[in-house]
Amino acid sequence: MGDLAMVAKTRLLVPGTIRERVLDRLKDTFDVVRIERADPALLARSEAATISGVAISGGFGAAMIEHLPALEIIASFGVGYDGVDVAAAAARGITVTNTPDVLNDEVADTTIGLLLNTVRRFPQAEAWLREGRWVREGAFPLTPLSLRGRKAGIYGLGRIGMAIAERLKGFGIEIAYHTRRPREGVPFAYYPSLAELAEAVDILIAIVPKTAETHRTIDAHILRALGPDGVLINVGRGWTVDEDALATALKDGVIAAAGLDVFYDEPNVPQALLDLPNVSLLPHVASASVATRDAMADLVADNLFAWFARGAALTPVPETPFTRKAGNGLESLR
């Protein structure tokens, strides 16, 4: 990556909390400035003018970007980067990076676990055992649902969606998908609309990012299309699901069950969902293993090392395809 000693005096801003491994990786190479949160009021203009890079886990808005006149790169912890005002960054020629690929397998594994928990009710079965009900009342009731003979629809066939599909194939489940455009070389059936996909499958797995186009797209209409044997799994963003419509659909038998790792207003989960027996709930843990979070932290740090030592980030988001020229000028990779 070049001579990192050349960037030893570069100042980086870390607002709020971030995985400690990021800080450990950065502290010997950069001058790291910490503030409580991404708020321009917490950083004097004189100090803000010295900041060349940012490492962030969470939001970073246009006001904060405007406050940092020398900013070149924002390294975001996570695959989703909707908390960063990418349009404001791109307008200034500031590179934004995320952490794709390193969490694909963990999220895909969690998706399969959540699907099994939802369909076969394994958490409830374990609670039955731990509460002594097996001894007192006998065997746990047979689960009305099974994975046998089902067809799964993946809403969002990106890197993680493909990893989920590969795992589902091992269960002998037929797979279909919906994205904005069909993917070349993919052997699964493509449906041009989410409604058509929901109509064709009885498991719907959502793994789309938070965008204006994905806001509450899984609504009462889609749930009715999924049908009374249908199972919804959401490991993407809570933003995608109309939670009121989902609670009603679960209560009224419009669909059979749901498994959710993400919610609209985290960490607040609607009581209507908590009260239902046919929903499996996880506290946004799809990538939450030490190994995966460490890999994400390493990629945040490595993006910053690569940018300042070599002149190009490792994983820039598509909206900011910039490189760093001599004298800190910027040019597009396009």
pLDDT digits (tens, 9 = 90+) for 134-166: 999 999 999 999 999 999 999 999 999 999 999
Mean pLDDT of 36-60: 98
pLDDT at 334: 35
> Predicted confidence band at 3 (pLDDT cuts at 50, 70, 90)?
low
pLDDT at 1: 43
How far is 109 from 113, CA to CA, in rounded Å?
Answer: 6
All domains of the chain in start order, with CATH: 4-100+290-332 (3.40.50.720), 104-281 (3.40.50.720)
How far is 6 from 295, CA to CA, in rounded Å?
Answer: 25
Segment among 48-57, 106-115, 299-308, 318-327 with least mean pLDDT = 318-327
Q: What is the mean pLDDT of the chain?
A: 95
**What residue ranges in 31-161 does DSSP mark as E strands?**
31-35, 51-56, 73-76, 95-97, 151-155
Contact between residue 67 and residue 40 where contact means Cβ atoms under 8 Å apart: yes
Mean pLDDT of 290-313: 98
> Predicted confidence band at 325 (pLDDT cuts at 50, 70, 90)?
confident
pLDDT at 7: 56
> What pLDDT digit, counting tens, does each position of 205-244 carry?
999 999 999 999 999 999 999 999 999 999 999 999 999 9
Sign of CA dihedral 270, 272, 275, 281: negative
Q: What angle do CA 105, 237, 170 make, to 5 degrees?
A: 35
pLDDT at 2: 46
pLDDT at 9: 80
How far is 328 from 323, CA to CA, in rounded Å?
Answer: 9
Of 298, 328, 304, the C-alpha closest to 316 is: 304
Contact between residue 146 and residue 172 where contact means Cβ atoms under 8 Å apart: no
pLDDT of 333 above 50:
no
pLDDT at 330: 47
* Residue 273 exposure: Cα atoms within 13 Å on the Cβ side: 22
| Residues with a known catalytic role | 237, 266, 284
pLDDT at 327: 41
Residue linked to tokens 């694909």: 104
Residue type, 239: W
